[in-house]
Amino acid sequence: MTRKTLSPKRKLAIAMLVVLVALTAACSAAGVATSAPAPAQNPGAFTVSDAAKGAAGNGTSPAQGIPGLASLQRDLVLTANVSMRASDPWAVADSARSIAAGLGGDLLGLSQSGSGETRSATLTIRVPAARFNDALTALKKLDGEVISSNVSAKDVTDQLVDLQARITAAQAVEARYLQLLTAAKTVDELLRVESTLANTRTQIEQLQAQQKTLTNQVAYSTISLQVSSVPVLPIDPKPVWDPSKTFDRAVAALSVLMRTAADLAIWLFVLGWIPLLAFAIAFAATRLRATRVPTA
C-alpha cells in the first residue's frame, strides 16, 4: 500500500482548523467559569447593593419593576376638638393643662366661667406633632365623659415647597441686585437699585415669616377642649302631711266657691228678669186666648 503525502496547502488548513477548535474550547471554559456562583462575602461587609437597598427603604426594588420609594413624607397640620362633661370642669381644665406641659407643649388660651354646679371651661393647647395621639388619649382618660371629638389634618407640603422655591428665587434676585449696587456709577442708578433691593428684601422676609408659621403649625398640633358641668336633676322630697297646708288649701277652695256663688247671684240679678218676663208674657197670652173662646 502506497502512502499518500499531504500537500503543503492541506497541512496549513489542518493546522488552522486545530487552532480554531482550541480557541473555541477555551472560550467555552471561560464562560462556564464566569457563570459559576461567586464566593460568599463577609456578612458584616457593606456593599453597593446594600446601599441601594438602604436608599430604596422598605419598598420594592427597581429590579422588580416597581420604584423603590416606599412612601412620601408629607407635612400635615393636625388639629382636634374635644367636648366633655365633668362634675368639676375647672379641675379637668387644669389636668389638661398639665398633660400639655408634660408632653412638651404649652397653653394657648384658657377661659373659665360659672359657679357651683354650672361651671364650664374652654382651653386651647398645643403639643408636639409626634405626641398628638398621646395627648388625645390622655385627655379622654380624664375624670369626665367625652361627648364628641374630631380630628382634622391639612396637607401643607405643596405650600412649603412653593414658599421655599419663591424664597430661593428672591434671594437670587437679591444677589444680582447687590452686584448691580456695587457697579452703580451714578446717584440715580444707586437709588433705583437700593429701592428695588429693599423691596426684594421685604418680600424675602414676608415669605420666610409664612414659612416659619407653617413649619411651627406642622411641628406643633393644636387641641381645643370644651368642658361643661354635668346637669343635676332635681330630686322630689318625700311628701309629709301638714295640717296647716291642708287648712290653707280648704280656705282657698271655700273662697273660690263663695266667689263663684256671688258671681252667679250677680248674673241672676242682672239677667234673671228676662226669663221671668218671657214666662209672664206666655202666661198672659194663654189666659187671653182662654177668655176669648166661647163656652158651649
Ranges of each domain in the chain:
76-154, 157-218
* Whether CATH 3.50.4 fits 76-154: no
For the chain, what is the mean pLDDT? 76
Which pLDDT band holds residue 24 (cuts at 50, 70, 90)? low
Residue 190 binned pLDDT confidence (cut-offs 50, 70, 90): confident
pLDDT of residue 94: 92
User: Quick check: 60 pLDDT over 60?
Assistant: no
Distances in whole angstroms, Cα of residue 70 to Cα of each of 55, 58, 60, 67, 256: 10, 6, 7, 8, 89
pLDDT over 90 at 128, yes or no: yes
% of the chain residues with pLDDT over 70: 71
pTM for the predicted model, two decimal places: 0.52
Q: What phi and psi, each to the nearest 5 degrees, are found at residue 114? A: 90, 180
Q: How confident is the model at residue 241 (pLDDT cuts 50, 70, 90)?
A: confident
Q: Has residue 179 got a pLDDT over 50?
A: yes
| All three cell numbers of 48 | 453597593
Least Cα distance to 223 among 82, 75, 77 occurs for 82
- Least confident interval from 17-26, 33-42, 68-77, 229-238: 33-42
Which tops the pLDDT comparison, 142 or 287?
142
Give the span between the Cα atoms of 194 and 191, in whole angstroms.
5
Q: How far apart, in whole angstroms, are the C-alpha atoms of residue 158 and residue 76? A: 11
* SS3 at position 3: coil
In the predicted model, is pLDDT for residue 103 greater than 60?
Answer: yes
The reported pLDDT for the residue numbered 212 is 95
More confident: 105 or 44? 105
Spatial contact of 107 and 97, defined as CB atoms under 8 Å apart: yes
User: What nine digits make up the cell of 148?
Assistant: 364628641
Give residue 15's pLDDT band: very low, low, confident or very high (50, 70, 90): low
Q: Where is 182: in which H helix or E strand?
A: helix 157-183
Confidence class for position 218, pLDDT limits 50, 70, 90? very high
Strands (E), the chain: 76-86, 106-113, 120-128, 145-155, 220-229
Q: What's the confidence (pLDDT) of residue 200?
A: 92
Q: What are phi and psi for residue 107, nearest 5 degrees?
A: -95, 130
| pLDDT computed for residue 278 by the predictor | 80
H/E segment holding residue 119: none
Q: How confident is the model at residue 238 (pLDDT cuts 50, 70, 90)?
A: low
Q: Please name the residues in contact with 150: beta carbons below 8 A apart, sequence gap of 6 or more.
A: 80, 81
- Whether pLDDT at 46 is above 50: no
Cβ–Cβ under 8 Å, residues 98 and 87: no
pLDDT score for 231: 75
Please tell me the number of Cα atoms within 13 Å of 173 on its side-chain side. 17
Structure confidence at residue 242 (pLDDT)? 77
